[in-house]
Structure 1
Amino acid sequence: MRHSVNRPPTPDAGDEQEKELTLQEKINIKLMESGEKERLMDLLRERLIECGWKDEMKAVCRTFIMKKGRNNVTVDDLIRLITPKGRASIPDPVKAELLQRIWAFLNATTL
């Protein structure tokens, strides 16, 4: 079979079989379809505000902006700075509560 220079080869009929979804993809679909993902995101936002995490991250950003100068900082700079610090500083009780809620959802749902 010859291939066109401008487009990829046409797949064979056997290649058109649907790929099996991973467990993570199935869980994510169920969370989104049920609206549970949005409820979990709201809970996470609420808990992070309650424990002061949001204010702490805001302070880190402000300090960085003051150090570098307001006109010398991009959103990408802030994201690169805050992402590892933010993930590492989420309190364990918040993580545990979210994990418990996810497990409860999975136990009540059939995949």
Structure 2
Amino acid sequence: MEGRKSVNRPPTPDPVEEQEEKEPSLQEVINVKLVESGEKERLMDLLRERLIECGWKDEMKALCRAFMKKKGRSNVTVDDLVHVITPKGRASIPDSIKAELLQRIRAFLVQASV
């Protein structure tokens, strides 16, 4: 079997190319519909309003100030603040606000027939 030649095969497709050719995911379709309708901006405004009302925004400001005081103002970057505050911020959003936004998104999806 010394004289055997390799079989000429087509190149293996690149995984990135496969992703470009596939249909958009449901999440991508929903996001496009939210943006196109203007509902995403309305939801963002509602979220900002609710977070201010419940004191979440002030709480995050206080955490940022405390972190900056601890590390020294000149030793803190925006990336540092984002890295430290994001997990705490996400975890401290009240469940009632999450539920309200989820309900609004569901109502939009029913109305938009997605």
Instruction: Tell me the TM-score normalized by structure 1.
Output: 0.83
Question: C-alpha distance in 2, partners of 1:33/1:70?
Answer: 41
Secondary structure of the corresponding residue to residue 78 of structure 1: helix
Match of 1:107 in 2: 110
In the TM superposition, what is the alpha-carbon distance from 1:59 to its structure 2 partner?
Answer: 0.2
Match of 2:55 in 1: 52
In the TM superposition, what is the alpha-carbon distance from 1:78 to its structure 2 partner?
Answer: 0.1
In the TM superposition, what is the alpha-carbon distance from 1:33 to its structure 2 partner?
Answer: 0.3
Matched to 2:102, the amino acid is L
Matched to 1:40, the amino acid is L
In the TM superposition, what is the alpha-carbon distance from 1:102 to its structure 2 partner?
Answer: 0.2
Percentage of pairs with the same residue:
78
Match of 1:6 in 2: none
In the TM superposition, what is the alpha-carbon distance from 1:38 to its structure 2 partner?
Answer: 0.2
Question: C-alpha distance in 2, partners of 1:87/1:104?
Answer: 23
Match of 2:38 in 1: 35
In the TM superposition, what is the alpha-carbon distance from 1:110 to its structure 2 partner?
Answer: 2.1
Instruction: Supply the RMSD in Å over aligned alpha carbons.
Output: 1.7
- Residues 80-108 of structure 1: per-residue CA shift (max 9 Å, x gap): 00100000000000000000000000010
Secondary structure of the corresponding residue to residue 21 of structure 1: coil
In the TM superposition, what is the alpha-carbon distance from 1:47 to its structure 2 partner?
Answer: 0.1
Find the partner of 1:63 among 66, 69, 75: 66
Structure 2 unpaired stretches of 5+: 1-10
Question: C-alpha distance in 2, partners of 1:31/1:73?
Answer: 36
Instruction: Flag the structure with more relative contact order, 1 or 2, with Cα contacts below 8 A and sequence separation at least 6.
Output: 1
Report runs of 4+ in structure 1 exceeding 3 Å deviation: none
Instruction: Tell me the TM-score normalized by structure 2.
Output: 0.81
